[in-house]
Structure formats: structure tokens, C-alpha cells
Amino acid sequence: MSVLRIVLTVLLILVSVALVVLVLLQEGKDANLGAISGAYETFWSKNKGRSKEALLVRITEFLAVAFFVLSIVLNINAI
């Protein structure tokens, strides 16, 4: 059982580091605040669903779920 715990702990550390890096790579919500009255739209803002930003958001969501599941699984025996 200890080998599985070590593998899950290493996986949790890798997921944690990847999650931090992906959150830091994402663009803030207020990136286009300099535009007058919010009418400024770029190609990327019109196609948010198919952009790299959307891919980063999906991967971040997956890693967040994996982080919570791994955290719960690793702490089941600690209760």
C-alpha cells in the first residue's frame, strides 16, 4: 500500500506544479480594459472557444478536478 501512496503523492505534486503554471499562463479577465467602452474586439476575443486560452482553461479545469480527487484519495486513511 505504501508504494501506491508514494506514486499518488508524486502525481499530486506534479499536478500541483502544472496547475500553478497553467494558472500563471492564463490571461486576466481585465486584459482589454484599455479599450473605449468595451467595444474593442479582437480576433481572439471573438473566437474564445477555439483559442489557446480556451484550451488552457479546459486543461486547468481538468487538473483542478484531478488535484481534488488525489487530495481526497490520499487523505482517506488519515481520518
| Per-residue model confidence as pLDDT tens for the chain (79 residues) | 689 999 999 999 999 999 999 999 887 766 555 555 555 555 555 565 667 888 888 999 999 999 999 999 999 876 5
Look at residue 34 and tell me if it is in a domain.
no
Q: Are 32 and 45 in contact (CB under 8 A)?
A: yes
Amino acid 51: pLDDT: 77
Domain with 16, as residue range(s), is: 2-27+41-74
Neighbours of 15 (CB within 10 A): 20
Torsion of CA 61, 55, 10, 12, to 10 degrees: -10
Look at residue 36 and tell me if it is in a domain.
no
Look at residue 50 and tell me if it is in a domain.
yes
Amino acid 65: pLDDT: 96
Looking at the structure of the chain, the number of domains it has is 1
